[in-house]
Structure 1
Amino acid sequence: MSLPDLLATFPISSGDAIALACLFAAWLGIGWFTERPPAGRPSVSVLMTRFRREWMRQFVERDPRIFDGNILASLREGTAFFASACMIATGGLLALIGNGERLRSIASGLELSPAADAEWELRLLVTMFFVVNAFLKFVWAHRLFGYCAVMMASVPNDKDHPDAMERAMQAADLNITAARSFNAGLRSVYFALGSLGWLMGSWTLLIGTAIVLWVTWRREFASTSRQVILRSLPPPLLSDRVAPPAPAPRRPQP
């Protein structure tokens, strides 16, 4: 059954429409606020951009560089794990959406109110949207971390080389972009879990959205890890984009 057919079969009530609007508004809003916080109260994601650039500055002078390669490999393994998990979840949701009888048995087991198959399918499609979005974000983050690895490998071993710091900052920018995509994928996973509340009604979806929004905000702006990160940062104004040092004059290319 196509999506227009689903909408025609199961017209969304005003309560459901409001709950869905709050879900997507919260998802988009917390993402925007996390990446563009007030200057005096940066998020954990923004604070970590400073450490990622500092990592690349230290990388230029570190010898050997096996330590940095191991760190980047662990970052790629994390993105690969979440991407694989999202693929499995997507397959499970597709199988569940295509099996109306199975949906009814699950609803009966959870003592949910009876509903048409189209209604359950539409509700699960919202969850699948977030899972698929997370998968795409994780895959892109994995690829960007790969680009970062290649860029790091191109940094000259001589710290006095005119291209060393410039390429290190290029690697830092790729690392930061990959981390931003990874964080967006995690947010989608959180809201996918919150969207499951719609299976029990619009009020439950609103409650699930509020819980996920609070958890996401707390981890970025009021967590213990944020306080630990702030201990070594100059207070109080931080931006999410710290300008890299001016590159040294480049040699003329043949």
Structure 2
Amino acid sequence: MRLVDHMALLTPLDWCAAGLIILSWFTIGWWIEHPGAKHPSVTVLMGERRREWMRVFVTRDPRIFDSQILASLRQGTSFFASTCLLAIGGVLALVGNTAPLQGVAAEVSEMPVPVLIWQLKLGLVVLFLTNAFLKFVWANRVFGYCAVIMASVPNDPDDPKAYPRAAQAAELNIRAAINFNRGLRSMYFALGALAWLLGGWALIAATAIVVWIVWSREFASIPRRILIEKDV
């Protein structure tokens, strides 16, 4: 009964706010990866550029430039994966010792908050961070697959395997990038989920801000405008 009593301290607003941020995370991710043909996202536009990259790659000699680009992409995934691990460790440490949060809460509210409630709210943050970590690790591995396929592309553009193999590399590159972007979005929502510590309304407001930031960078940013410009 004690667990049930503690869970009852979460108001309907809290549950709605938690459901909203998870639904928003899923919805904006699906929208970015499946936009309408008339309004492509930066993710979709960059996917086409990655295919063009692999087509040019077939005839480029030497190919050191391409290997350096791919290496930098893998370094980016490694950096964010390491960052997520550090963040997860920090949040889990706070889950194990919620005294600092209880001290802050005591200054703004006379009603004591059970440790379990703090842990539950921080658990949502850990959920997003863990998903981000897994996406970054998988992106790094798929970029590795892409590197192997790129290395197997014949040097002779007239070889019948050259362009099909390059197309495979392009699709692997795109899948790695998609997972990298999913990891970044999870990190954005993890930051937004921290607002739940301040209450349900704060989480709703933070969710709206995060969704706007993610949407604007994919559909209303200067990089997108540059990408949709016609080649001269």
**Structure 2 residue 42 is the aligned partner of structure 1 residue 44:** yes
Q: 1:102 to 1:143 in 2, by over 3 A?
A: same
Match status 1:164 vs 2:162: yes
How far, CA to CA, are the matches of 1:106 and 1:160 in structure 2?
A: 68
Aligned length: 229
Question: How far 1:199 moved relative to its partner?
Answer: 0.5
Superposition deviation, residue 101 in structure 1: 2.2
**2:13 partner letter:** G
Are 2:40 and 1:74 equivalent residues in the alignment? no
Structure 2: distance between partners of 1:191 and 1:232: 34
Task: State the TM-score, normalized to the length of structure 2.
Answer: 0.94
Name the CA distance, whole Å, in 2 between partners of 1:224 and 1:5.
53
What is the CA distance between 1:202 and its match in structure 2? 0.2
Q: CA RMSD in A?
A: 1.7
- Which stretches of structure 1, 4 residues or more, deviate above 6 A after TM superposition? none
The answer as to 2:188 corresponding to 1:190 is yes
Distance, in Å, in 2 between the alignment partners of 1:77 and 1:224 is 25
Identity rate, percent: 55
Q: 1:175 aligns with which of 168, 173, 176?
A: 173
Partner of 2:6: 9
Instruction: Spell out the pairing of 1:73-112 with structure 2 (5 A cutoff).
Output: 73-107=71-105, 111-112=107-108
- Which residue in the other structure is 2:21 paired with? 23
State the SS of the aligned residue for 1:63.
coil
- The answer to whether structure 1 residue 56 and structure 2 residue 54 are counterparts is yes
Amino acid of the structure 1 residue aligned with 2:47: T
Going from structure 1 to structure 2, the CA distance change for 1:188 and 1:7 (only over 3 Å counts) comes to farther
Provide the rounded CA distance (Å) in 1 between the counterparts of 2:61 and 2:175. 26
SS at match of 1:17: helix
Q: Which residue of 2 aligns with 1:33?
A: 31
Partner in structure 2 of residue 155 of structure 1: 153
Counterpart in the other structure of 1:225:
223
Deviations 1:161-203 (A, max 9, x none): 1100000000000000000000000000000011111000000
Separation (CA, whole Å) in 1 of partners of 2:5 and 2:75: 43
- The answer for unaligned runs of 5 or more in structure 1 is 235-254
Q: Deviations over 1:61-95 (max 9, x none)?
A: 00000000000000000000000000001111111
Q: Aligned equivalents of 1:61 and 1:130: distance in 2? A: 42
More helix by share: 2
Q: What runs of 5+ residues in structure 2 fail to find an aligned partner?
A: none
TM-superposed CA distance for 1:7, in Å, is: 5.9
Secondary structure of the 2:54 match is helix
